[in-house]
Amino acid sequence: MASACGTLTAPLPDIDFTQILLSFAVLVISLTVHEAAHAWSANYFGDPTARLLGRVSLNPAVHIDPIGTIVFPLLAMVTGLNFLIGWAKPVPVNTRQLGPHWKQRFMLIAAAGPASNLVMATVAAVAIRLLIPNDSIFESTLSPTVKVLFQAVQLNVLLAVFNMVPVPPLDGGNVLAGVLRGPAAEAFERLRPYGFMVIYGLMLSGILWRLVSPVEELVLSLLL
């Protein structure tokens, strides 16, 4: 799952439908690669479940969630939210297929999604550097191509950082579950059924963005 939220900032009469479509395309591609990375790594480590469902694919159709990938993001863009709200269909993983070291493998499968977003952000950032000189990188008169690349960098960094928040069912929660042992692991697993409530509580309180924003800004500063 990948998600973000924000506050209303733009009046409806100023809607730029071309920009909305480009932003939407960047989001769909980013979510598609994220989920495909989970599916590919799960198959690599011995679980063919996602592959048999056709999820080891860069075809967005197999990863799209009608509400999370289409309706919510488009509503967020049209109403001018600072952050996108969106997610794709989660990739199923059968841990019994991962062998005796399933915890470590499940941890790597979880990390594959955010890692793919960081790779995409890096590729887009390199493309920006190749297309424009350093001293004009933040000018407002950038070409549409460069603007899309900027969006790709920013969105993929946000997806990577957000998803690595160590709360299940986010990828960061699954990574942490693979690290913990003994009583700490048992206590963390008891938190799993309430993970969504914890995430929403952190979002509504503003704590989540105080945690995510500094890391996001740090990664962006390194890339741009």
Least Cα distance to 156 among 2, 20, 22 occurs for 2
Evaluate whether residue 108 is within a structural domain.
yes
Evaluate whether residue 3 is within a structural domain.
no
pLDDT at 84: 57
Domain total of the chain: 1
Evaluate whether residue 7 is within a structural domain.
no
3-state SS track over 175-205: HHHHHCCHHHHHHHHHHHHHHHHHHHHHHHH
Evaluate whether residue 1 is within a structural domain.
no
User: With contact defined as beta carbons under 8 Å apart, do 167 and 173 qualify?
Assistant: yes
- Return the structure tokens found at 81: 């939210």
Print pLDDT tens along the chain (224 aa): 444 433 333 444 467 778 888 888 999 999 999 999 999 999 999 999 999 999 999 999 999 999 988 988 888 777 766 555 678 999 999 999 999 989 999 999 999 999 999 999 999 999 998 888 666 666 556 788 888 999 999 999 999 999 999 998 899 999 999 899 999 999 999 989 999 899 889 888 989 889 999 999 999 999 98
Evaluate whether residue 5 is within a structural domain.
no
- Please tell me the pTM assigned to this model: 0.88
Domain membership of residue 117 as a residue range: 12-223
Evaluate whether residue 4 is within a structural domain.
no
Evaluate whether residue 209 is within a structural domain.
yes
Conformational region of residue 172, where left means phi above 0, alpha means psi within -120 to 50, and beta covers everything else:
alpha
DSSP β-bridge partners for residue 8: 81
Evaluate whether residue 206 is within a structural domain.
yes
Least Cα distance to 34 among 63, 72, 61, 54 occurs for 63
